[in-house]
Amino acid sequence: MTQEHAQGWPTGGSGEMFRLIAALPDQLEASADLEGLPAIAPPEAPFSRILLCGMGGSAIAGDLVQPLLEHQPVSLDVWRDYGLPHWANRQTLILVASYSGNTEESLSALVEARRRGCPVLGISSGGRLQKAAEGEGGAPFALVTLPGGLPPRASLGYGLGALVRVLGRLGLVSDVEQEMAEAVAVLRRLNPVRLWPVGTEFLDQATAVCPADPAGMVGAAELAAQLVNAVPVLYTAGLEARGAGVRLKGQINENSKAPVCLGVFPELNHNDLVGWELSAADRGRFVLLILAGKLDNERIEARVRITRELLRGEFPVIHGILASGERPLARVLSLVQYGDYLSCHLARLKNVDPVPVERIGRLKDQLENL
């Protein structure tokens, strides 16, 4: 991190979240040394599928790695629920991901996996999941240990890095180090672009301004200003953008304390497209953001282009958020990084603290008392 960055963080929870977002490439790099990785090896019995069981910030890594597995013989599905789907069996590798190690849905998946005799790996910073990995309540299993003490959504670099490296050790992701190296380089290059708004009040030096975004997009801070009094509508185009869209929705929900609408091409063309028959009074309440990675399907490109034209009268503002990088992981994470900064700039402009998630805490408290 440059000295200019270190001098200019905003104060309070907003500054803390900006620091954590800027640390994404550092976390990715540090994931190479996570405790437990050297012990990861393919199970003795071959597996036909991988199921990542997790919620929120712990589950999103499973969505974001999909482009790396596109041409692999083994698929990875993400399970955001209690227990396991009916098809999970002894040939299904269960990855239990819980940053705290205490997520009740994920722990219930672990219990069911043990009951069915599924092979299990864990990714966590501790808690009950770590105790289970040590053999409490059943047979021990391998656990990749993440650094603790962070909001789960701000530990993405560790959690995603751990998952990619686990998949590499299982022989399912090739060129892991090259993927990581380019992702780290792209994120570090874009960090100052997406952190500092033009004419920023964050810095003391009057000459420090945001450089132009290399993709030609509106700056994250400038886009946040357009969302302060509007509801974001996210459309994702292509596999690389799909997980990034889920991530951005969650980040705006948690960091900005704001609602979001989410749709995916081409499915949105069969339903969501028709829902935007807005009255004149409502047309200023929504901003359309289209997230796009590498598009290999010309029909998706055509659908995006035509959809923009069909909805131009409903949305006064339509922006494209485009991926950067040569490799899939870099492109996916460039979208994630932009969205993370966007959510934090929006929180700053709305004068809300991005760190606390009080309603989630109250929900957990009430569930524990049932």
Residues acting as catalytic residues: 254, 270, 364
The dihedral sign for the CA sequence 279, 276, 292, 53: positive
| CA–CA dist 288, 125 (Å, integer) | 37
Q: Which of 321, 287, 284 minimizes the C-alpha distance to 304?
A: 321
Q: Give the single-character DSSP code of 66.
A: G
- Both tokens of residue 136? 């409490």
Three-point CA angle 100, 86, 262, nearest 5°: 60
What is Dmax (Cα atoms) for the chain?
A: 63
| CA–CA dist 344, 352 (Å, integer) | 9
**N-terminal to C-terminal alpha carbon distance within the chain:** 46
SS3 308: helix
- Both tokens of residue 367? 């569930």
Q: What contacts 363, CB < 8 A, 6 or more positions away?
A: none
Residue 57 and residue 99 in contact, taking contact as beta carbons nearer than 8 Å = yes
The one-letter amino acid code at 306 reads I
| CA–CA dist 98, 127 (Å, integer) | 9
Three-point CA angle 91, 93, 98, nearest 5°: 155
* Residue whose entry in the numeric block shows the structure tokens 């009740």: 104
Residue 251 and residue 357 in contact, taking contact as beta carbons nearer than 8 Å = no
Residue 320 and residue 215 in contact, taking contact as beta carbons nearer than 8 Å = no
Q: Give the single-character DSSP code of 38.
A: G
